Amino acid sequence: MDGIDNAVAIVTGASTGIGRAAASRFVEEGARVVVADVNVEDGEETVDELEAMGGEATFVETDVSERADVQAMVETAVDTYGRLDFAFNNAGIEGASGPASEQPLDNWERVIDVNLKGVFLGLRAEIPAILESGGGAIVNTSSIAGVVGFPELSPYVASKHGVVGLTRAAALEYSGEGVRVNVICPGVIDTPMVERSSEADGNVEQAIAATPMGRLGEPEEIGDAAVWLCSADSSFVTGETMVIDGGYVSQ
């Protein structure tokens, strides 16, 4: 892909799943990557994998809901590699399920803090650094729950709808300044989060059955899209909500 070689990218939630797949794809295209996650062991394992591929990568322990952590993440990218070109704000959690009227307040707050506030803090810290580097692109991770509703997941659905709206606003604000901002809405992807959900409620088989393509998505399919949205190949794309779900929301 054009425009990725020798660039610097941050990937949050990069210890496993979609984040790790995207970090690998960035390295394959020649980028240097800051791997950000709260999970230190798996995050450092991601870095080891990227370096084994011949890439350059640095791990930063980051809770995306904490302003100081996010700022330190961006500062690490600039201090280590001299610039920041791209960011994939991918970190997220599913939270507990249950009817809206029975949702514990602490669950609501934690899901919103990580999934929505975390993306906001990312944009707030990343955009100035990207502007200083002469422009670039940001991709945020939402979900099919960002475009349709799901019962008993009100905090998650609200947070993911918020990411879509936040992305559109930021895209309009910075489109004339050389920073493109887009959002990906994955369907049911074969990740540790989906594995946990399956163990908790067994609904993954139902989700597969409800997906026209009849299978789980692969993390690499989302990672490829994220890197493409950062590349020069997508230079006229901003404010886009890219749904990658095997046809689920088209029904």
For 152-165, the pLDDT digits (tens) are: 999 999 999 999 99
User: CA-CA distance, 174 to 160, in Å (whole number)?
Assistant: 21
For 192-215, the pLDDT digits (tens) are: 776 666 555 667 788 888 899 999
Which regions of 66-211 does DSSP assign to beta strands (E)? 86-89, 136-141, 179-186
Supply 160's token pair. Answer: 């993911």
Q: How many residues are there in the chain?
A: 251
Q: Is 81 a catalytic residue?
A: no
Supply 174's token pair. Answer: 């910075």
Which one is catalytic: 81, 156, 174, 248?
156
Supply 195's token pair. Answer: 């594995």
All residues at 6 or more sequence positions from 48 whose CB lies less than 8 Å from its CB, including other chains = none
- Of 3.40.50.970, 1.10.1330.10, 3.40.50.720, 1.10.375.10, the CATH number of 8-190+218-243 is 3.40.50.720
Looking at residues 52-56, what average pLDDT do you find?
98
Domain coordinates in residue numbering, the chain = 8-190+218-243
Q: Is the pTM of this model over 0.85?
A: yes
Closest-CA residue to 137 (of 46, 3, 22, 247): 3
DSSP-derived letter for residue 216 is P
Supply 83's token pair. Answer: 């610039």
